């Protein structure tokens, strides 16, 4: 079972290509879907000012960051910490773009060359909840994750919140099957075989009104297609 690192960054702005830099890195380690405490949290001196809008989000002033290490001085340590792990990020393209730029400045290869894989929880959430708000805040509210102490966006705090969200987002049916099959706590994401013969599944037949409504829909579809629907042709009841 591989390590999972839930990762978040704070930056001076929105564009790594235009010179914005990482000012905070927060990482939370999971193993067997449990927090290990082997976390990583670093502030960096970005050697530039934060944009006004970004400062309103993270609250990390230039004065506060002035004596912090530069990313390049710790880049190798960061690579070794992340090496081989599955990296879990919300809106991964943003953070990966910034990390790759910082690694490039330090003469190191891109993130995906030394980690196991990158999982984007935003993409996952959009599949599970299409058309709904899927920001980290929205997902915390949806899953009942407490974010009451989140005055500013902070990389370590956001990584901790995202770890909780990720566990909730990936529980799925496997967790239900595991709970039925055993009273022991679920370990990892292993799928447990369940003998479904122990369940008595009710069979509910459609009523007359439901059957009539279903037939009306089928007839409308057949008329719309000019009598070319296969289900009518195969039954020999095609509309002329």
Closest CA to 21 of 57, 56, 54, 64: 54
Q: Is the pTM of this model over 0.85?
A: no
- Looking at the structure, do residues 11 and 114 belong to the same domain, yes or no? yes
**CA 11 to CA 237: how far, in whole Å?**
66
Q: Among 122, 149, 170, where does a domain finish? A: 170
Number of domains in the chain: 2
- Looking at the structure, do residues 116 and 223 belong to the same domain, yes or no? no
- Looking at the structure, do residues 58 and 164 belong to the same domain, yes or no? yes
- Does residue 107 lie in a domain region? yes
* Phi-psi group of 195: left, alpha or beta (phi > 0 → left; psi -120 to 50 → alpha; rest → beta): beta
153 is catalytic: yes
Q: What is the pLDDT along the chain (240 residues), one digit of tens a residue?
A: 579 999 999 999 999 999 999 999 999 999 999 999 999 999 999 999 999 999 999 999 999 999 999 999 999 999 999 999 999 999 999 999 999 999 999 999 999 999 999 999 999 999 999 999 999 999 999 999 998 876 667 899 999 999 999 999 998 634 433 344 444 444 444 444 555 555 555 667 777 877 878 787 777 777 777 777 776 666 655 444
- Does residue 194 lie in a domain region? no
- Looking at the structure, do residues 144 and 216 belong to the same domain, yes or no? no
Closest CA to 128 of 174, 187, 168: 168
Q: Among 153, 170, 187, where does a domain finish? A: 170
- Looking at the structure, do residues 127 and 222 belong to the same domain, yes or no? no
- Looking at the structure, do residues 67 and 112 belong to the same domain, yes or no? yes
- Looking at the structure, do residues 159 and 207 belong to the same domain, yes or no? no
- Does residue 178 lie in a domain region? no
Query: Looking at 41, 58, 90, 153, which residue is catalytic?
Result: 153
CATH of the domain at 156: 3.30.420.10
Q: Among 170, 186, 217, where does a domain finish? A: 170
- Looking at the structure, do residues 148 and 211 belong to the same domain, yes or no? no
**CA 188 to CA 197: how far, in whole Å?**
26
- Looking at the structure, do residues 57 and 166 belong to the same domain, yes or no? yes
Q: Could you list the residue range(s) of the whole structural domain that residue 134 is in? A: 4-170
- Looking at the structure, do residues 210 and 159 belong to the same domain, yes or no? no
Provide φ and ψ at 138, rounded to 5°. -65, -40
- Does residue 67 lie in a domain region? yes
- Looking at the structure, do residues 119 and 160 belong to the same domain, yes or no? yes
- Does residue 80 lie in a domain region? yes
């Amino acid at each position: 079972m591989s390590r999972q690192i839930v990762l978040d960054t704070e930056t001076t702005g929105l564009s790594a290509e235009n010179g914005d830099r990482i000012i905070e890195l927060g990482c939370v380690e999971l193993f067997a879907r449990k927090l290990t405490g082997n976390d990583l949290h670093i502030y960096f001196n970005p050697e530039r000012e934060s944009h006004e809008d970004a400062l309103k989000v993270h609250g990390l002033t230039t004065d506060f960051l002035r004596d912090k290490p530069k990313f390049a001085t710790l880049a190798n340590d960061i690579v070794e910490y992340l090496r081989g792990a599955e990296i879990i990020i919300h809106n991964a393209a943003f953070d990966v773009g910034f990390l790759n730029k910082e690694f490039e400045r330090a003469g190191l290869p891109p993130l995906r060359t030394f980690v196991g894989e990158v999982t984007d929880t935003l993409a996952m959430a959009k599949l599970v909840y299409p058309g709904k708000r899927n920001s980290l805040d929205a997902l915390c509210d949806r899953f009942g994750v407490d974010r009451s102490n989140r005055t500013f966006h902070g990389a370590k705090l956001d990584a901790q919140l995202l770890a909780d969200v990720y566990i909730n987002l990936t529980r799925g049916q496997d967790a239900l099957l595991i709970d039925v099959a055993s009273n022991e706590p679920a370990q990892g994401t292993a799928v447990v075989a369940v003998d479904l013969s122990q369940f008595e599944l009710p069979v509910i037949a459609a009523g007359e009104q439901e059957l009539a409504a279903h037939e009306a829909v089928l007839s409308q579809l057949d008329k719309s297609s000019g009598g070319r629907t296969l289900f009518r042709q195969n039954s020999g009841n095609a509309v002329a």
